[in-house]
Amino acid sequence: MKTTNLYTDNFLKHPNALKIWNEIIYSYNTFPNDSSISRFFLPEELIIEARSVAAAFTILLYNPQPDIKKIYNTKLYYMFLLSSVCGIQIFLKQRALETGFKPYKANLNKGKIENAKANALFLLTLGTSIPKAPHQVMKKFIFQLLSSKNTLQFRVKGSRFDKTRYQTLLNASILWGYFFAKNMLKES
């Protein structure tokens, strides 16, 4: 008799993809040391740097471009920030599985941070491939992010929202987070 799985995930077919996904979901629901900040938003050194890139992705979808102060208060900005953080978390969880959870440190030198940001954008333009497990996790996150928001919520008064490029830039945002984390970390 053939057994059936009640829940089949169409995205996470690679065995490590499910592990990465579960680790990220666990970190999203965990708060260290009675903090109000979820472990999903750690390490803070990397997350802070994702803010300006999320704002840049956001600006690209509005014509004319709104004032930068308005951008940081839009739902679209937070969507891109979340996407970038997802990319960072995917790399961190993949690295943990591959290295047996070895500790790491982030390069906090301002020059290295700027270099890591630029290198992450460069890797996006090259079309660099990533391993199968993190790719499947990214696809699932993108699917969930795209299905969770109606693009009408992203409107900004006085600007047109370019919804045709939205999905492409959301994919680029999660990949940027992945490549940025990869460039920022060093063994401790």
Q: What is the pLDDT of residues 32-46, one digit of tens each?
A: 666 666 665 667 777
Cα–Cα distance measured from residue 30 to residue 172, given in angstroms and rounded to the nearest whole number: 27
**Residue 116 identity:** A
Closest CA to 40 of 30, 50, 49: 30
> What ranges make up the beta strands (E) of the chain?
62-63, 104-106, 160-161, 185-187
**pLDDT, tens only, 88-138:** 999 999 998 998 888 888 878 888 889 999 999 999 888 888 999 999 999
pLDDT at 7 over 70: no
pLDDT at 182 over 80: yes
Q: Which residues contact 77 (CB under 8 A, 6 or more apart)?
A: 54, 55, 58, 71
Find the Cα–Cα–Cα–Cα dihedral 98, 182, 54, 160, rounded to 10°. Answer: -90
Cα–Cα distance measured from residue 176 to residue 91, given in angstroms and rounded to the nearest whole number: 11
**pLDDT, tens only, 36-81:** 666 656 677 778 889 999 999 999 999 998 888 889 988 899 999 9
Structure tokens at 173: 């945002």
Tell me, what's the pLDDT at 177?
94
- Torsional sign, CA 26, 179, 67, 158: negative
